[in-house]
């Protein structure tokens, strides 16, 4: 063993570690403005929740609100639409999961799990096709629900995928009725 082979750190080792630490702090300091600018701005955070007045929506009509840059369909379904959705057996559905942000992730796609609690005629749903993100047409297709003309996905009156290439039901965002005529989304 020579005089240069010591197991203890020397001044050169300390300088390497100190230089590396100062360099790492410098890199983080230089990158922080770029990382911080990726956070949503105040206008986006303000739209985290929106209130929508549904007092003018008649039975059988829909309105579309914009929430977090996505169209959200709010539909007051007719009694026939509610009955058709309730009468659909889960075995007939391509996607048996509700996809409702207000329920557990594995909740079944029954009409009750897709509609508003205690207001079964109301459906609040992100109106984006789950195939490639297109915007389906409302009150269209063989189930009088939504039809995506881009690739042929067909959804029923509860927003559940019935035919076509879409793999999942349309999503139900977090929402609640704050009064009989106002729904808060987000």
**Strand spans (E) along 61-108:** 62-67, 70-76
Q: How far is it, in rounded angstroms, from Cα 106 to Cα 84?
A: 23
Contact 85, 114 (CB under 8 A): yes
Read off the tokens for 78. Answer: 């007719």
The catalytic residues are 151
How many CB atoms are located within 10 Å of the residue 47 CB?
A: 14
Backbone angles phi, psi at 78, to 5 degrees: -75, 165
* CA–CA dist 102, 158 (Å, integer): 15
Cβ atoms of 161 and 155 within 8 Å: the answer is yes
CA nearest 155: which of 164, 145, 165? Answer: 145
How would you list the strands of the sheet with 137-140, edge to edge? 137-140, 145-148, 153-155, 161-163
């Amino acid at each position: 063993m020579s005089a240069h082979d010591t197991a203890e750190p020397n001044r050169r080792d300390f300088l390497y570690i100190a230089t590396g630490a100062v360099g790492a702090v410098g890199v983080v300091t230089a990158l922080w403005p770029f990382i911080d600018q990726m956070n949503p701005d105040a206008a986006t955070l303000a739209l985290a929740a929106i209130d929508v007045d549904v007092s003018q929506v008649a039975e059988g009509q829909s309105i579309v609100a914009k929430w977090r840059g996505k169209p959200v369909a709010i539909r007051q379904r007719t009694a026939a639409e509610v009955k058709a959705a309730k009468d659909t057996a889960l075995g007939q559905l391509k996607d048996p999961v509700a996809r409702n942000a207000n329920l557990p992730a594995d909740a079944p796609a029954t009409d009750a799990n897709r509609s508003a609690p205690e207001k079964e005629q109301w459906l609040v749903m992100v109106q984006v096709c789950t195939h490639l993100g297109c915007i389906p047409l409302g009150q269209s297709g063989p189930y009088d629900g939504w039809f995506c003309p881009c690739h042929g996905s067909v959804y029923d009156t509860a927003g559940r995928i019935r035919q076509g290439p879409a793999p999942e039901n349309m999503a139900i965002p977090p929402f609640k009725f704050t009064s009989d005529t106002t729904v808060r989304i987000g």
